[in-house]
Chain A
Amino acid sequence: MFTQTAHNVQNYKIEGRWRILFLVMTALLILPVLIILTLLIVRGGPAISWEFLTAFPIKGMTAGGVFPALLGTIYLVSLALVFSVPLGIAAAIYLSEYAPDNVMTRIINLAIINLAGVPSIVHALFGLGAFVIFMEFGTSILAASLTLAIMTLPVVIVATKESLQSVPQAFREACWSMGATRWQTIRRIVLPNAVSGILTGVILEVSRTAGETAPIMFTGAAFFLPFLPESVFDQTMALSLHLFVVATQVPNVPHDLPYGVALLLVAIVLLMNALSIGFRVRLRNKKKW
């Protein structure tokens, strides 16, 4: 017969306590998210309408819609991607597939990881100095997008490198031993099997970029513009900054309005995250090894 020692019983009790502790911690973590979401939907939901999405703000931004800000965010994010994605993927391919494993490479890798941790306000000031003033782009969509691109580049690089490195080394060695060059191996085997992972990283980047305020505040986003931008050298409104403005800078804004803007922003971000989760699931189902 099996008999429990005092030690067994003791372990069992302690195990139970740990379980509950971790459960409570998790619940505490989820709670604020739930509260925020509920609040946004309850308070912001009524503000959202077709007019809200397609009209200009009116009456000193206390009424009307957020169309120019929504469009501006799309412009900024898209243009930032145009710069950061090709550059980031190329850099990741070099670092993961070509670079020799030496001190220099390690320093670069470390620098990239640290760059990802630099506060966005620092990127903002860099963008102001480099693009707005030095390169004379002025406060413009171009300068703001470049600033966002610089800010997101490290994350694109890290995400891409990780997906490249998840492709087993044995595949590369099999290709090389057949006389394939590095590039042939990358193009035919490594990239096709990393592309879903890269896409996931890029989409997560979009959601992060869409929410940033500091980097665009000094470089290209405007409080209010009565017209849409006509070129990349114009300023633009943006959702994130607009939220800040209607929530804190404008008097007599109806209470629902900031909640509506916030809900829209969160919805965009969540949509992007859902997309990236979708890709990840597809990736898992399509695993070829």
Chain B
Amino acid sequence: MKETNQKASGAPPVLEINDLSIAYSGKTILRNATFDVQNNEIFGIIGPSGSGKTSFLKAVNRMDQLTPGMTTTGSIHFHGYDTATWRNLYSLRKRIGVVFPLPTGLPLSVYENVAFAPRISGVRQKVELDQIVEKCLRRAALWDEVKDRLTSLGSLLSGGQQQRLTIARALSQDPDLLMLDEFSIAVDPVTTMRIEDVLKQLKSEISIILVTNLVQQAERLADRTAFFLNGEVVEVGQTEDMFNGRAKDVRTTDYVEGRFG
């Protein structure tokens, strides 16, 4: 249904993954993945560690170029354009925000952390930067906590605040697609909930890929979910179906019900 609607409106899905395989130094760790990520959906990816989730995200923003030994085959289309033939990879990465499992506040002030992406894109005006910084910190539900300490080091914030800072930073790129990789690993439950609320709101503006080690998080947030297992995309389906025993593959049901790990 959704797919046909989109075809009718002419907008291609934000990501079309076609027969994607990923290898490190010749050793394949993700095989023949084929699925789409729709516009304005939260797309969950679940699976045990080592199943290739992070590597998939790296392939999407072409970090394989900067990772020694990493190679990909197959194709990834971003908004209908093949990322393999994308000439300026920096501009591709600017349109895809990434949040890593461990908050990596750059060794800069809170303000400069968020102003980094606009600055490297050539924004110079103080007024404009101020606006972007405030807007992104507000969207990441961090503004009220840091508005009086914008000049102090980002790395002095608490873990949960730092993770929201990296989300604000990712948003400062003004991305079409936000990819979060197990963001809640180093974050307390309260902050996790706040970030989940943020993601629900962001959904109306951008597409989100949510890699998560908490299956319930996928259940709470994701419209559709993919289950990765040992380099295989076992299935991609509506999240409700997966969590209500209507998964196509018995391994998916086993995993979401915690029967293996």
**Docked pose: A184 CA to B122 CA in angstroms:** 11
Smallest beta-carbon distance B91→chain A, Å: 7
**Docked pose: A188 CA to B117 CA in angstroms:** 11
Q: A170-B104, A178-B117, A179-B117 are in contact. List 7 more A-B contacts (CB 8 A).
A: A100-B68, A171-B106, A174-B106, A177-B93, A178-B173, A180-B116, A189-B107
Q: Which of B77-85, B94-102, B139-147, B217-225 contacts A (4 or more CB under 8 A)?
A: B94-102
Q: Which of A212-235 contact B (CB under 8 A)?
A: none
Q: What is the interface size of chain B, counting residues whose CB is below 8 A from a CB of the partner? A: 31
**Which 9 A-B residue pairs are closest in the complex by CB-CB distance?**
A179-B94, A288-B107, A179-B93, A177-B98, A179-B90, A170-B104, A178-B117, A174-B104, A184-B120
Whether A180 contacts B90 in the complex (CB less than 8 A), given A173-B63, A188-B116, A288-B153, comes out as yes
**Docked pose: A271 CA to B100 CA in angstroms:** 45
Contact with B along A247-289 (1 / 0, CB 8 A): 0000000000000000000000000000000000000000011
CB-CB under 8 A from A193, the residues of chain B are 107
Selected A-B contacts with CB under 8 Å, 23 pairs: A100-B68, A173-B66, A174-B166, A174-B169, A175-B106, A176-B63, A176-B66, A177-B61, A178-B94, A178-B116, A178-B117, A178-B120, A178-B169, A179-B93, A179-B121, A181-B90, A188-B120, A189-B107, A193-B107, A288-B108, A288-B155, A289-B107, A289-B155
Enumerate chain A interface residues (CB-CB to B < 8 A).
100-101, 168, 170-171, 173-181, 184, 188-189, 192-193, 288-289
**Docked pose: A192 CA to B107 CA in angstroms:** 10
Smallest beta-carbon distance B53→chain A, Å: 16
Asked if B102 and A178 sit within 8 Å, CB to CB, the answer is: no
CB-CB under 8 A from B96, the residues of chain A are 177
Contact with A along B228-239 (1 / 0, CB 8 A): 000000000000
Smallest beta-carbon distance B144→chain A, Å: 24
CB-CB under 8 A from B120, the residues of chain A are 178-181, 184, 188
Enumerate chain B interface residues (CB-CB to A < 8 A).
61, 63, 66, 68, 90-98, 100, 102, 104-108, 116-117, 119-121, 153, 155, 166, 169-170, 173
**Docked pose: A170 CA to B101 CA in angstroms:** 11
Smallest beta-carbon distance A131→chain B, Å: 39
CB-CB under 8 A from A184, the residues of chain B are 120
**Docked pose: A179 CA to B105 CA in angstroms:** 16
Smallest beta-carbon distance B107→chain A, Å: 4
